[in-house]
Amino acid sequence: MTIYVGNIAYTMTIEDLKQLFLVYGNVTDVKIIVDKQTGKSKGYGFVEMERDEEAENAIRALNDTQVNGRNVKVNNAHRKNTSAAPQE
DNA sequence: GTTGAGCGTT
């Protein structure tokens, strides 16, 4: 399952997110979106986990929680073709 | 700061 992580602090890195989600399950891939034009973080990223149940568990545990001083938004991704469900 | 990018073998 691909998890969307938004409103994260610019200080948050891929390893930071990976460690956070690894507590709830094994993480297959972690990615933070960086603007190609500015080279800065866009403030959101994606985390891919093997088991959906662990992913949802991590979502419920980390969503709307303060990380690095920022209230992060964690939810299952609902766009692109990386989601478990088709896009309308 | 709210739903990507990958640029060459993932």
Q: What is the pLDDT of residues A12-59, one digit of tens each?
A: 999 999 999 999 999 999 999 998 888 889 999 999 999 999 999 999
A9 touches strand B (CB under 7 A): yes
pTM given for the model: 0.90
A40 touches strand B (CB under 7 A): no
Q: Which amino acid is at A51?
A: R
How far is residue A86's CA from residue A75's CA, in Å, rounded to a whole number? 16
Say if residues A3 and A77 touch (Cβ distance below 8 Å).
yes
Nucleotides of B under 7 A from a protein CB: 1-6
Place of tokens 């994260």: A8
Class of residue A33 by CB neighbours under 10 A (exposed 0-12, middle 13-18, buried 19+): middle
Query: Given a cut of 90, is residue A83 above it in pLDDT?
Result: no
Å from A16 (CA) to B10 (C1')?
22
Å from A3 (CA) to B2 (C1')?
13
